[in-house]
Amino acid sequence: MKRFAKLIEQLDSTNKTNQKVAALTQYFLEAPKEDALWSVALLSHRRPPRPVTTKLMRSWASEITKLPEWLFEESYHIVGDLAETIALLVRQEAKGKVPSLSQCIDEIINLKPKQESQKKEYIFKRWKSLNNFERFVFNKILTGGFRIGVSQKLMTRALSKAVKINENILAHRLMGQWSPKTITFEELILNPNPQDQISQPYPFFLAYALEEDFQGKEKVINWHIEHKWDGMRAQLIIRERKSFLWSRGEELITDKFPELDCLANILPNGTVLDGELLPYKDGQIGNFNDLQKRIGRKSVSAKLKQQIPIVIMLYDILEWEGKDIRSYPLMDRQDLLAQLFEKYDGEKIPILLSEVLKFSSWEQVAVEREKAEDKRSEGLMLKDKKSSYGVGRKKGNWWKWKSNPKTIDAVLTYAMRGHGRRTNMYTDYTFGLWEDNNLVTFAKAYSGLTDAEIKKVDQFIKQNTLERFGPVRQVKPELVFEIAFEGIAPSSRHKSGVAVRFPRILRWRHDKKTNDANSLEDLKQLLP
């Protein structure tokens, strides 16, 4: 635990990537294999189940510090992070033996079925046995919120240096569902069993937003262009007559889309396909809101399958006849994909092939981009025809050119404190639109303003608060902002009756007064 806490302190103390990689590499070289495995798990967002609620932790922290709960809560709102708040306030001199990281996590896992009094006794013991930063890391493990500015890609790079295994190979080994409770460092990293990797997906390759000068530098003929379909990115794996469906978030979602099960007996073994899950009925692509009704269900009824049937729109092929072909040029992979689709197209299976679009000028591409909404896509994808299928986000080979967002002018109504370096500032905003003479909440946003603008808005909020609700303030409805969003759909779960996707602040409308903001009816006019 001491070694891991020291690592986290080192990572937290620098913004330099090289220093973080060096610290991680040294840690993986020195740490016992059991601790190294749990470190990989924690840094790739695989955490042990939470044995206690944050409510209990806050109550116990108040008790051990002898602070009234209101004062602890106020401190928590100012700091913005529960683990850090407790670590700062529980000023106990470290006493007792400190367990290793793997031992500590085993204790936390074993804690879950115990009585509340036993949980309290254990956590008090650990708070007293750890120093300040160790206590902070311990609390982070308890709460499950392990964001320390280290991406999985960076962690994989460091691990690659330590174990002398290619970074892309390691990235693949770390994909899928695994747990340090059921696998060893040797089995996962050093010598994985091929049989254990039957269901394992490949890391997804991601695109950057198109740069402004792209068209002036590149020839359209060199680029593979297709629509960026508005669904759920997924990998379909066919191995040993079994099918596995993985989301981009590394969630196994096979059971949620049972209509794809038939592909295990149709497509050849050793096939891995990259595509987009889309609602598809009567020859028409549905909208993302339809898909959401399927995503959130643990089980899918026959009625729901009939109402919202699903297909997978194919982008790429990553494995063919059991061979990893990600290093092949895209145009060669596309030829194989086209052959595969042509062979099975007549069998009426839930598969579509994303159309490769042909253009002779960038002006024609721009015109096609404007058609995206009508085609139920988010815009266009531009891929270098010679590119391999990489790991994660890599600039230069794949670009996304999304449609222009929809916009609306809304009034700031509520604000909440931010996190991290902005814990003392109000940076998380709620916006409303007019309905009759009332402002109805329709979206929350926390990005889009400059640091200077945030300071000015924060000052306004503190000087114009109407009511307080813990960390939230209701403010005088005087500031108008232009809000951008990617999509819009009817929603019974929202007070406004409308749900918008990815809302963010486009600009502060200094030129508009509150009454100039848009109405809820204006928003509904944007519904498809």
* Token code pair at residue 279: 């609602």
Contact (Cβ atoms closer than 8 angstroms) between residue 120 and residue 57: no
- The single-letter code of the amino acid at 300 is V
How far apart (Å, rounded) are the C-alpha atoms in residues 62 and 56? 10
Strand partners of residue 400: 209, 381
Q: Is 241 left (phi over 0), alpha (psi -120 to 50) or beta?
A: left
Choose which CATH entry (3.30.470.30, 2.40.30.10, 3.30.70.1560, 3.40.50.300) describes domain 205-402: 3.30.470.30
Instruction: State the virtual CA torsion across 329, 332, 333, 335 in degrees, nearest 10.
Output: 160
CATH homologous superfamily of domain 2-143?
A: DNA ligase, ATP-dependent, N-terminal domain (1.10.3260.10)
Strand partners of residue 366: none
Q: Where in the chain is the domain with CATH 2.40.50.140?
A: 406-524
Q: Greatest CA separation found in the chain?
A: 73
C-alpha distances (whole Å) from 37 to each of 28, 181, 505 are 9, 10, 40
Angle in degrees, 0-180, between the axes of helices 69-79 and 54-65, rounded to the nearest 10: 120
Q: Which of 356, 397, 360 is nearest to 380 (CA)?
A: 356
Type and span of the H or E element at 184: none
Contact (Cβ atoms closer than 8 angstroms) between residue 229 and residue 276: yes
Query: Catalytic residue positions?
Result: 228
Instruction: State the virtual CA torsion across 469, 475, 476, 482 in degrees, nearest 10.
Output: -140
Q: Where in the chain is the domain with CATH 3.30.470.30?
A: 205-402
DSSP state of 252: B
Q: Which of 166, 285, 176 is nearest to 231 (CA)?
A: 285
Residue 419 is predicted with a pLDDT of 67
Q: Which residues in the chain show pLDDT less than 70?
A: 145-147, 346, 419-423
User: Could you please report the per-residue DSSP string of 284-331?
Assistant: EE--HHHHHHHHT-SS--HHHHHHS-EEEEEEEEEEETTEE-TTS-HH
Residue 288: partners with Cβ closer than 8 Å, 6 or more residues away:
230, 231, 487, 489, 501
* Token code pair at residue 334: 């596309």
DSSP E strands, 133-240: 205-206, 208-209, 223-229, 232-239
How far apart (Å, rounded) are the C-alpha atoms in residues 525 and 454? 31
- Per residue in 353-391, pLDDT (tens digit) is 999 999 999 999 999 999 998 898 999 999 999 999 999
User: Could you please report the per-residue DSSP string of 409-450?
Assistant: EEEEEEEEE-SGGGTTSEEEEEEEEEETTEEEEEEEE--S--
Contact (Cβ atoms closer than 8 angstroms) between residue 431 and residue 442: yes
Type and span of the H or E element at 408: strand 406-417
Q: What pTM was computed for the model?
A: 0.78
Task: For residue 354, count CB atoms less than 10 angstroms from its CB and return exposed for 0-12, middle for 13-18, buried for 19 or more.
Answer: buried
Q: Where in the chain is the domain with CATH 1.10.3260.10?
A: 2-143
Residue 227 is predicted with a pLDDT of 96
* Token code pair at residue 74: 């106020």
Q: Which of 309, 301, 236 is nearest to 271 (CA)?
A: 236
* Cα-to-chain-centroid distance, residue 151: 12
Q: Which of 328, 334, 297, 294 is nearest to 314 (CA)?
A: 334
What CATH code is assigned to 406-524? 2.40.50.140
Contact (Cβ atoms closer than 8 angstroms) between residue 234 and residue 253: yes
Contact (Cβ atoms closer than 8 angstroms) between residue 408 and residue 483: yes
Residue 177 is predicted with a pLDDT of 84
Cα atoms in the 13 Å half-sphere on the side-chain side of 504: 8
Contact (Cβ atoms closer than 8 angstroms) between residue 282 and residue 299: no
C-alpha distances (whole Å) from 503 to each of 376, 481, 485, 487, 498 are 19, 12, 4, 9, 13
